[in-house]
Amino acid sequence: MVKPALPVVNDRPTLQALNRRAKDILKARPAYKEMVDFYLTVFRRQIEWRDRLVVHPEEATAEQTQDCLRKGTPLVGCFDPGLDLQSLLDLYVEMKALFRRGNEVLRQVVDRIDAAEVAGDFAPATWLAEQRPDRPEMVADSAQCLEIEESVLASLARAVTFPHWELVARSWLSQADLKDWKGPACPVCGGVAALAETRKDRDSATESISPASVRRLHCSFCGTHRVFPTLECPSCRSVKSGDAKYLFTQNEPELRIDFCDSCRHYVKVVDGTKVSGPIHVGLELLTTAHLDELAQGKDLSPL
């Protein structure tokens, strides 16, 4: 088996596009400034640490990865992601310092984690290495034991694990073609889609007439995104006529909510044709909380 080489990433265009998107968001939604500033701080630190992060994904051939995807099994169900405990711990210490400087609430959370670690009741690196989308109870149970707000603990965990899992995804997907993956779950980690994006498909056979619009589902756990049918529900898989509906606000043409009238689940959607550069799931999720309120007002539930 040949270990795939990780593709070289030029971070400068990514950071430039992220800063442009952040400015556009703040111009339209200034109330999110504190969230945007904090997200940018965390993301920049992740970028700075990219060359120091370590993962040892299980080696796999293209044939093995395609066979796993054809069977409908996320790659993590076939191969070991090989998360490095020391690398997780090193980035955790860095992110912990950012959280401590964030505000008083975050500082108290970090202090409580430190106290539990000193007492031998909590091992951050091991806990982080065990994070999986199919184990949501890990954050909930730990938050309860540590007496910490679950959303804050989840944010700290995601800040540390996301860049590691992103490396794992890049390694495995360099050997995979996602055309064989048909389900709504993430083909790498099995996570539920956190956000959707629409783009014009430049590879479409109809491009000479009018490029087809495609919808991509984005995973917030490992960063993987893939095409998913626009009229199919990512929750119940319904393709029944009339089930696929959407909500939007007049002053935000680049945002909408896709929901299913059958199962009443929704996903937030960003129109990628109106956004310069790639979508950053964390930033878009943080700055669209008002869409969640709109959806909940219609008795809709997130995926």
At a CB cut-off of 8 Å and minimum separation 6, what does 145 contact?
A: 121
Same domain, yes or no, for 245 and 129? no
Phi-psi map region of 226: left, alpha, beta (phi>0 left; psi -120 to 50 alpha): beta
Same domain, yes or no, for 53 and 143? yes
**Euclidean distance between CA atoms 21 and 271, whole angstroms:** 13
pLDDT of residue 27: 92
Residue 170 has pLDDT above 50, yes or no: yes
Closest by alpha carbon to 216, among 241, 184, 240? 184
Q: How far is CA 285 from CA 83, 118, 280, 290, in A?
A: 26, 34, 9, 10
Same domain, yes or no, for 202 and 169? no
Same domain, yes or no, for 231 and 293? yes
Residues 235-259: what's their mean pLDDT? 91
Share of the chain above pLDDT 70, in %: 93
Same domain, yes or no, for 216 and 235? yes
pLDDT of residue 211: 59
CATH number of the domain to which 200 belongs: 3.90.1670.10
The count of domains in the chain is 2
Higher pLDDT, 125 or 253: 125
Same domain, yes or no, for 168 and 207? no
Which DSSP category does 276 fall into? S
Same domain, yes or no, for 86 and 67? yes
At a CB cut-off of 8 Å and minimum separation 6, what does 33 contact?
A: 26
**Euclidean distance between CA atoms 283 and 260, whole angstroms:** 25
- Of 148, 173, 198, the one marking the end of a domain is 173
Same domain, yes or no, for 57 and 132? yes
CA 39 to chain CA mean position, Å: 13
Residues 260-275: what's their mean pLDDT? 93
Same domain, yes or no, for 200 and 254? yes
Same domain, yes or no, for 147 and 220? no
Higher pLDDT, 266 or 277: 266
Q: Helices 150-173 and 85-102 sit at what angle, rounded to 10 degrees?
A: 140
Longest dimension (CA), the chain: 66
Tokens 């984005």 locate to 218
Residue 2 has pLDDT above 50, yes or no: no
Closest by alpha carbon to 44, among 10, 11, 7, 87? 11
Residue 158 has pLDDT above 90, yes or no: yes
What residues make up the domain containing 228?
178-302
Q: What is the pTM of this model?
A: 0.88
- Of 152, 173, 194, the one marking the end of a domain is 173
pLDDT tens column, 188-228: 999 999 999 998 866 545 455 445 689 999 999 999 999 99
Which DSSP category does 246 fall into? E
Same domain, yes or no, for 116 and 131? yes
pLDDT of residue 203: 52
Share of the chain above pLDDT 90, in %: 69
Residue 3 has pLDDT above 50, yes or no: no
pLDDT of residue 292: 94
Higher pLDDT, 182 or 2: 182
**Euclidean distance between CA atoms 180 and 72, whole angstroms:** 8
Burial status of residue 233 (CB atoms within 10 A of its CB: 0-12, 13-18, 19 or more): buried
Burial 49-84 (b: 16+ CB within 10 A, else e): eeeebebebbbbeeebbbebbeeeebbbebbebbbe
| Cβ(191)–Cβ(185) below 8 Å | yes
pLDDT tens column, 101-114: 888 888 999 999 99
